[in-house]
Amino acid sequence: MSSKTTQRIVIVGGVAAGASAATRARRIDPNAEITILEKGPAVSFANCGLPYHLGGEIPDRNKLLVATAELFWNRFRIYVRTNEEVISIDTEAKVLTVKDSVDPTRTFTQVAYDKLILAMGAEPVLPPFAQARSSNVFQLWTLPDMDGILERIKQTKVARALVVGAGFVGIEVVEQLHRIGIQVDLVERSPRVLNRLDPIFANMACNALRKESIHPMTGQSVLEFKREGDKVVAAVLSGGKTLATDLVILGVGVRPRTKLAVEAGLTLGDSGGLLVNEFMQTSDPSIYAAGDLVEYTHQITGSKTLNPLAGPANRSGRIAGEHAASGKSQPMGGVLGTSIVRVFETTVGMTGLNEKYLDEHKIPYRTAIIQATHHASYFPGASNMQLKVLYEAPSGRILGAQAVGGDGVDKRIDVLATAMTLGGTVYDLARIDLAYAPPYGSAKDPIHMIAFTAINDLQGHPRLLTPDAQLEGFQVVDVRTAKERSELPLPNAVPIAIDDLPRDCNQLDPTRPTVVVCHSGKRAHIGACRLQASGFSQVFNLTGGMSVRSQIPKQ
Q: Where are the domains of the chain?
A: 8-122+256-326, 128-252, 345-459, 460-555
**What CATH number is given for 128-252 in this structure?**
3.50.50.60
Q: Are 433 and 415 in contact (CB under 8 A)?
A: no
The percent of residues in the chain predicted with pLDDT above 70, rounded, is: 99
**What CATH number is given for 8-122+256-326 in this structure?**
3.50.50.60
Residue 36: beta bridge partners?
Answer: 11, 80
1 pLDDT more than 60? no
The reply to whether domains 128-252 and 345-459 share a CATH topology is yes
User: What distance in Å separates the CA atoms of residue 515 and residue 406, rounded to the nearest whole number?
Assistant: 30
286 pLDDT more than 70? yes
Q: Check residue 555 and give its pLDDT.
A: 65
Average pLDDT over residues 74-90: 96
Distances (CA, A) of 148 to 97, 124, 141, 181, 375: 30, 16, 11, 18, 43
Phi-psi region of 535 (alpha: psi -120 to 50; beta: other; left: phi over 0): left
Q: Are 11 and 36 in contact (CB under 8 A)?
A: yes
Q: Check residue 106 and give its pLDDT.
A: 84
Q: Are 212 and 176 in contact (CB under 8 A)?
A: no
Name the E strands within 257-338: 287-289, 296-297, 304-305
- Reported as type and span, the H/E element at residue 310 is helix 310-326
pLDDT digits (tens, 9 = 90+) for 508-534: 999 999 999 999 999 999 999 999 999
CATH, domain 460-555, list 3.40.50.10860, 3.40.50.720, 3.40.250.10, 2.40.50.140? 3.40.250.10
pLDDT digits (tens, 9 = 90+) for 399-422: 999 999 999 999 999 999 999 999
5 pLDDT more than 90? no
2 pLDDT more than 60? no
Q: Check residue 105 and give its pLDDT.
A: 83
Phi, psi of 282 (to 5 degrees): -85, -170
Q: Are 123 and 257 in contact (CB under 8 A)?
A: yes
Query: Would you give the DSSP letter of residue 397?
Result: B
User: What distance in Å separates the CA atoms of residue 321 and residue 308, rounded to the nearest whole number?
Assistant: 19
Residues composing the chain: 555
Active site residues: 48
The percent of residues in the chain predicted with pLDDT above 90, rounded, is: 96
User: What distance in Å separates the CA atoms of residue 171 and residue 163, rounded to the nearest whole number?
Assistant: 9
Helix, strand, coil in percent for the chain, rounding step 5? 30, 25, 45
Residue 462, preceding peptide bond in cis (omega within 30° of 0): yes
- 72 burial (CB, 10 Å; 0-12 / 13-18 / 19+) is buried
Q: Are 544 and 521 in contact (CB under 8 A)?
A: yes
Across the chain, mean pLDDT equals 96
Q: Are 275 and 308 in contact (CB under 8 A)?
A: no
478 pLDDT more than 50? yes
User: What distance in Å separates the CA atoms of residue 464 and residue 539, rounded to the nearest whole number?
Assistant: 9
N-terminal to C-terminal alpha carbon distance within the chain: 65
145 Cβ contact list (under 8 Å, min separation 6): 50, 138, 139
Phi, psi of 304 (to 5 degrees): -85, 145
How far, in whole angstroms, is CA 440 from its chain's centroid?
25
pLDDT digits (tens, 9 = 90+) for 339-374: 999 999 999 999 999 999 999 999 999 999 999 999
**What CATH number is given for 345-459 in this structure?**
3.50.50.60
| Of 48, 49, 43, 46, residue with least CA distance to 19 | 43
| Of 246, 252, 226, residue with least CA distance to 181 | 246
Q: Are 441 and 435 in contact (CB under 8 A)?
A: yes
